[in-house]
Amino acid sequence: MSMQEISYWNREIETISSEALRKLQLKRLKETVNTALKTPFYNARLKKAGINSADDIKRLEDIHKIPFTTKDDLRECYPNGLLSVDLNDVVRIHTSSGTTGTPTVIYHTKEDIDNWTELVARCIIATGSGKSDVFQNMMGYGMFTGGLGLHYGAERVGMTVIPIGGGNTVRQIQLMKDFKTTVLHITPSYLLHIHSKLAEGEISVKDLSLKKAYLGAEPYSENTRKKAEELFKIDAYNSYGLSEMNGPGVAFECIHKCGMHVWEDAYILEIIDPKTAEPLSEEKEGEIVFTTLMRKATPLLRYRSRDLAFIYKGGCKCKRTHRRISRITGRTDDMLIINGVNVYPSQIEQVIMRVPEVGTNYQIYLEKEGTLDKLIVKVEIYSKLFTGELKELDALRERIKEQLRASIIINPVVELHEPGSLPVFEGKAKRVVDTRTKL
């Protein structure tokens, strides 16, 4: 790999000097504060903190005067408390399902989408891919930002894009063969799942033309990357993003695979102690905090991602000056990532509490089925509403399954249990049992 020529999508900005980057960040932070002041939420929040205009931000360090923004703030702002432009100028909306039934929303102007696309194009070029590649995008399209984000970037670069989305493994394999796919965008667990399916069919790894895979949407270990690389004879690159910061394209590995470069002209990166909110130095693991620097429709200041990582010390061999973060090592909250989909236990609880025929005690059980995650939701039958009919139990199970799928987008297994049979906890209940060993 070290002999490979380094290519850049935007050499000037990607190799910008630290000094020039700080200057650019300050300029854009001021612009962002001005944009934010146009939103009802930040207008109140910033003025309370003594920030009445961009003039109150004189140095980059003044960012510490700005209060943090949390996921709860986003929920409370739904649907338009954080909208800073005329709705006529919005070209796209992405919402995520919320834990309490309230979703969060990010608006994008044409310029926002364009900037996002540029960031993703940088990521793709940084891995050594280019125009001649065939890109099979196995991430979900729609409200989930993973599919569309990479799609736009790949088209910008000029790759041949196969926008198949997730699932349907047999067809995925056939398309990979027929169109000589060279680059995949996929969750690590699904990539390993595809390998196990290859063994069952007639198409093998050597019939494919794969060179690279972009792995994201769920945490995984270095060993999983190595395993995927060996099984498919490819290079696998870490991808990181979150819908609040557009989606994918926030941080990506270059050909050296030693941490993910965060595009610091587009985001101010901070790592803080999740308990005290004190800033942490390089190499110290903490919660990632982002400030958008280029987004026009939904600016976010010091947004607490709840993702844990650390910043690597020193420069990268690729000469990009944008700092690198480690893979995500965990979360500060109880969010579960199930086959790449983010799920909060409270979303499951909310569905269960709406069903009168089951009790209030429940358990969420996670296990591996092959390389994929399996979610089992265990509930207790509520004695007083038990009719004795097996048919009604079948219907009840289906109904809970349907409602869960509508809320969390993944298909759970629903188990019915006898009243009082699930473990009861005194104090804080341990409702989630996660038996998945990290991939």
Closest contact distance (angstroms) between CB of 419 and another protein is 5
Closest contact distance (angstroms) between CB of 278 and another protein is 49
Residues engaged in binding another protein (CB under 8 A): 381-383, 386-390, 393-394, 415-421
- The residue (of 312 and 382) whose beta carbon lies closer to another protein is 382
Helix H or strand E encompassing 154: helix 145-157
Burial class (CB in 10 A: 0-12, 13-18, 19+), 372: middle
Closest contact distance (angstroms) between CB of 334 and another protein is 26
Closest contact distance (angstroms) between CB of 389 and another protein is 7
- The residue (of 27 and 386) whose beta carbon lies closer to another protein is 386
- The residue (of 266 and 396) whose beta carbon lies closer to another protein is 396
Closest contact distance (angstroms) between CB of 363 and another protein is 13
Compute and round to an integer the Cα radius of gyration of the chain.
23
> Can you state the angle between helices 40-48 and 18-36, rounded to 10 degrees?
110
Helices and strands per DSSP (H, E), number in the chain: 11, 20
- Can you tell me the distance from the alpha carbon of 391 to that of 394, in angstroms, rounded to the nearest whole number? 5
Q: Is 202 left (phi over 0), alpha (psi -120 to 50) or beta?
A: alpha
SS3 at position 294:
coil
Cβ atoms 156, 122 nearer than 8 A: no
- The residue (of 48 and 384) whose beta carbon lies closer to another protein is 384
- Can you tell me the distance from the alpha carbon of 325 to that of 341, in angstroms, rounded to the nearest whole number? 22
Closest contact distance (angstroms) between CB of 422 and another protein is 11
Residue 360's closest CA among 391, 328, 389, 384?
Answer: 384
- The residue (of 277 and 376) whose beta carbon lies closer to another protein is 376
Residue 292's closest CA among 8, 33, 11?
Answer: 33
Within 8 A by CB and 6+ apart from 37, the residues are: 43, 46, 52, 53
- The residue (of 292 and 361) whose beta carbon lies closer to another protein is 361
Closest contact distance (angstroms) between CB of 193 and another protein is 25
Q: How far apart are the first and last CA of the chain?
A: 25
Closest contact distance (angstroms) between CB of 142 and another protein is 33
DSSP 49: T
- The residue (of 355 and 381) whose beta carbon lies closer to another protein is 381
- The residue (of 286 and 359) whose beta carbon lies closer to another protein is 359
- Can you tell me the distance from the alpha carbon of 86 to that of 271, in angstroms, rounded to the nearest whole number? 33
- The residue (of 264 and 380) whose beta carbon lies closer to another protein is 380
- Can you tell me the distance from the alpha carbon of 261 to that of 284, in angstroms, rounded to the nearest whole number? 17
Closest contact distance (angstroms) between CB of 416 and another protein is 5
* Residue listed under structure tokens 């280029």: 294
Dihedral sign computed on CA atoms, order 52, 57, 62, 66? positive
